[in-house]
Structure 1
Amino acid sequence: MRKTDKKYDKAIREALTEVCELTMENIEGFEWLTHEVNYQRFPQSLTVRLMFKDQQTLAGFERSDDYQAVVSDVQSRLAAAGVTLKNINRHVELDTL
């Protein structure tokens, strides 16, 4: 990993930690989030995965107004960390434990 990649990785982790903490406080059934990235294809390869306790909770979240609010929060915090994504919806995935 190059020095630049390490800086981006640290900034991404810090931004997503903030999103995770707020989402845990406000969204019932949300467990954690994680990210994957291939720095050879950065930022196109960045994926943020939000994890929920079960399918029912995930489905309810996906239908709620909270979904777009959390996705927007991910996008704005990543942008503040210097990571610009053209279509955030391509980079956010929902999953269950």
Structure 2
Amino acid sequence: MRKTDKKYDKAIREALTEVCELTMEKVEGFEWLTHEVNYQRFPQSLTVRLMFKDRQTLASFEQSDDYQRALDDMQSRLAAAGVTLKNITRHVQLGTL
């Protein structure tokens, strides 16, 4: 990993940690989030996975205002960290345990 990749990785982890903590406070059934990235194809390769305890809570989240707020929050925090994504929804996946 190059030095710039390490800087981006640290910034991404910090931004997503903040999003995770806020989402845990606001959304019942949200468990955690994780990310994956290939820095040779960065930022297009960035994928963030939000995990929920079951399909019902995931479906409720997807149809709530909390979903869009989480996406907006994620995009703004990543942008502040220097990661610009044109369409955040292409980089987010929802899953269950």
In structure 2, what is the equivalent of residue 44 of structure 1?
44
Tell me the SS of whatever aligns to 1:49: strand
| 1:31 Cα deviation from its structure 2 partner | 0.2
In structure 1, what is the equivalent of residue 16 of structure 2?
16
TM-score of the superposed pair, with normalisation by structure 2: 0.99
Question: Is residue 69 from structure 1 mapped to residue 30 from structure 2 by the alignment?
Answer: no
| 1:24 Cα deviation from its structure 2 partner | 0.4
| 1:11 Cα deviation from its structure 2 partner | 0.2
The ranges of structure 1 where at least 4 consecutive aligned residues each deviate by more than 2 angstroms after the TM superposition are none
In structure 1, what is the equivalent of residue 78 of structure 2?
78
Separation in structure 1 between the aligned mates of residue 72 and residue 27 of structure 2, nearest angstrom: 15
Percent identical pairs in the alignment equals: 87
Separation in structure 2 between the aligned mates of residue 82 and residue 16 of structure 1, nearest angstrom: 13
| 1:27 Cα deviation from its structure 2 partner | 0.3
Residue type at the aligned position of 1:91: H
Residue type at the aligned position of 1:73: D
Residue segments in structure 2 that go unaligned for 5+ positions in a row: none
TM-score of the superposed pair, with normalisation by structure 1: 0.99
- Structure 1 vs Structure 2 CA RMSD: 0.4
Separation in structure 2 between the aligned mates of residue 73 and residue 33 of structure 1, nearest angstrom: 14
In structure 2, what is the equivalent of residue 29 of structure 1?
29
